[in-house]
Chains A and B, each alone.
Chain A
Amino acid sequence: MSSAENGVLLRAGGVVHRYGDLTAVNDVTLEVRRGEVFGLLGPNGAGKSTLISICSGMFEPTAGQVTVGDRQLAPTSRAAKRRIGVVPQDIALYEKLSGRQNLRFFGRVYGLGGRRLRERVEAVLEVVGLSDRGNDQAGTYSGGMQRRLNLAAGLLHEPELLILDEPTVGVDPQSRNHIFDNVERLNRDQGVTIVYTTHYMEEAERLCDRVAIIDHGKIVALDSPRALIESLGGGVIQIGIDPTQRAQVTESLSALASVQAVGPGPDEKSLNIEASSARHALVDVMQAMNAAALEVETVRILEPNLESVFLRYTGRSLRD
Chain B
Amino acid sequence: MRVTLAFTIKEFLLLLRDPGGLFVLFMMPVMFMVVFSLALGGLFEEGAARGSARALEVPVAIGGAGEVAEQVVEQLDATQGLAMIREQDGQALTAEAVAQLVADGAYPVGVVFPDGLTALLEDPRILRGEQVKPLEVDVIVDPATTAQVTGPLEGALSAVLQQVVGRRLGEAGAAAWFEQVAAGLPAEVRAQLAASMQPDGQGEGALPVTTRRRVPPGVEREQFPDQFQQNAAGYTVMGVFFIATVMIESIFRERRSGAMRRLRAAPVGRAPIVISKLVPFYVVNLIQIVIMFAIARLAFGLDLGFIPAVVVVSAALALVATGMGIALAGVARSETQGTGLAVIVVLTTSALGGVMVPRFIMPEAMQQIGNITPQAWAIQGYQDVLVRGQGLGGVWLEACVLLIFAAVFTVIGVWRFRFD
Which positions in A face B, CB cutoff 8 Å?
53, 56-59, 75-76, 78-79, 81-82, 84, 86, 88, 90-97, 101, 104-106, 108-111, 113, 137, 153
Contact = CB atoms under 8 A, between A and B. Distances in A.
B265 to A, nearest CB: 4
B14 A106 contact: no
B264 A59 contact: yes
B212 interface: no
A109 B3 contact: yes
B259 interface: yes
Contacts of B5: 108
Contacts of B262: 86, 88, 92, 106, 153
Given A110-B266, A111-B2, A96 B17 contact: yes
A81 B10 contact: no
B6 A109 contact: yes
Given A101-B13, A108-B2, A109-B6, A94 B259 contact: yes
B261 A88 contact: yes
Nearest to A138: B257
Interface in B363-396: none
A90 B264 contact: no
Contact of B264 (A58, A79, A111): A58
B134 interface: no
Given A90-B258, A91-B258, A106 B3 contact: no
B6 A75 contact: no
Contacts of A95: 257
B18 interface: yes
Contacts of B53: none
A185 B2 CA distance: 31
Contact of A92 (B7, B17, B257): B257
A53 B260 CA distance: 13
A318 to B, nearest CB: 25
A105 B6 contact: yes
A97 B13 contact: yes
Nearest to A105: B10
Given A92-B257, A95-B257, A108-B2, A57 B265 contact: yes
Interface of B: 2-3, 5-7, 9-10, 13-14, 17-18, 254, 257-269
Contact of A96 (B2, B14, B261): B14
A104 B260 CA distance: 16
B265 A90 contact: no
Contacts of A79: 267
18 contacts: A56-B265, A58-B264, A59-B264, A78-B267, A88-B258, A90-B261, A93-B257, A93-B258, A96-B13, A97-B14, A105-B9, A108-B2, A108-B5, A109-B267, A109-B268, A111-B3, A113-B2, A153-B262
A110 B265 CA distance: 10
A106 to B, nearest CB: 7
Nearest to A58: B264
A96 B18 contact: yes
A92 B419 CA distance: 13
Contacts of A58: 261, 264-265
B263 A109 contact: yes
Nearest to B262: A92
A82 B257 contact: no
A110 B267 contact: yes
Contacts of B259: 92-94
Nearest to A79: B267
B257 A106 contact: no
Given A94-B10, A96-B17, A96-B18, A106 B261 contact: no
Nearest to A101: B13
Contacts of A137: 17
Contacts of A94: 10, 14, 254, 257, 259
**Top 6 A-B pairs, shortest CB-CB distance:** A108-B6, A78-B267, A92-B262, A92-B258, A58-B264, A86-B265
Contacts of B267: 78-79, 81-82, 109-111
Nearest to A109: B266
A129 B13 CA distance: 25
A273 to B, nearest CB: 43
Contacts of A81: 265-267
A177 B195 CA distance: 119
Kindly name the residue among B258, B259, B269 whose own CB sees the greatest number of chain A CB atoms within 10 A: B259
A96 B250 CA distance: 12
A76 B269 contact: yes
A193 to B, nearest CB: 16
B143 to A, nearest CB: 47
A239 B132 CA distance: 125
B113 to A, nearest CB: 68
A45 to B, nearest CB: 18
Contacts of A57: 264-265
A113 B1 CA distance: 12
Given A109-B7, A110-B267, 10 more contacts: A58-B261, A78-B269, A86-B262, A88-B262, A92-B262, A93-B258, A96-B18, A104-B6, A105-B6, A108-B5
A267 to B, nearest CB: 36
B61 to A, nearest CB: 65
Contacts of B264: 53, 57-59, 75
Contacts of B266: 81, 106, 109-110
B17 A108 contact: no
A95 B5 CA distance: 20
